[in-house]
Amino acid sequence: MSDHFKVRIKFQKTGAIRYIGHLDVMRFFQKCTRRADIDVCYSTGFSPHQLLTFAAPLSVGLESLGEYMDVEVNAVTSTADFVKRLNEASVPEIRIVDAKLLPEKAENAMASVAAASYQVSFREGRVPECFQGSNDAIQVALTEFLSQESLPYVKESKKGTREIDLKEGIYALTWDTEGHFLTMLLDASSGDNIKPIQVLDCFLKRLGQSLADNALTITRLDVLTRTDDGVLISMNDVGEEF
């Protein structure tokens, strides 16, 4: 085997850790890999740093069951050992789920991101009027929303505001009739990243309604990439156990 490997780590971020920002999560894993005695590769130059790459930064306040980090290492043992050592060096709110050995020419985690899936529910007492009706009525409203030729939305960023069309970036939007929550599959690529709150904001505004402050509980379920044929698959389906 070669003396240089790329390993993709799948981990969960739950509980109070959801209020920790992306930069702190990066610093956490830098310390975690050292505590776990993982033989991580370092960059060359004046200020060497660990070769870690994260997929899609998670917004503060969101939980996730499917986050990804690529790490370059000088040696590997086995998937089970890799996961065990990292979990022993981690905290309960950050749980390593899996590790895959990536093909040598695989794109890094950040460049691979194409979409993300979410579960979105409303906090008690903050449910919009349109979601207080029957399940059939909710699904009809969602179907009508997705049937529009375009879904213009004013997106705000640090660079200002611009109008985008959410239509092409909403791959799936459904209402779970038993759990009373929404599931969404949205574009998460670097150029057209769409957030669940933007979809709901657009949906409610078309009905003349608005979203109450702090109304949502959002969990990212997974991050997806595209195959060479354009099919969306979980980032955990790339690579193999070792």
Q: Is residue 224 part of a domain?
A: no
Total domains in the fold of the chain: 2
Same domain, 87 and 139: no
pLDDT above 60 (res 1): no
- Maximum CA extent, the chain: 62
CATH code of the domain containing 25:
3.30.70.580
Same domain, 134 and 67: no
- Residues shown for the chain: 242
Q: Is residue 218 part of a domain?
A: no
Phi, psi torsion values for 27, nearest 5 degrees = -65, -35
Q: What is the pLDDT of residue 4?
A: 84
22-35 and 79-89 helices cross at what angle (nearest 10)? 110
pTM: 0.94
DSSP 99: E
Same domain, 26 and 107: yes
Tell me how many degrees the CA angle 118-119-124 measures, rounded to the nearest 5: 140
* Poorest-pLDDT segment among 7-11, 25-29, 45-49, 90-94: 45-49
pLDDT above 80 (res 191): no
Segments forming the whole domain that contains residue 49: 5-111
Q: Is residue 232 part of a domain?
A: no
Confidence band for 42, pLDDT divided at 50, 70 and 90? very high
Q: What percent of the chain has pLDDT over 90?
A: 89
pLDDT tens digits along 108-143: 999 999 999 999 999 999 999 999 999 999 999 999
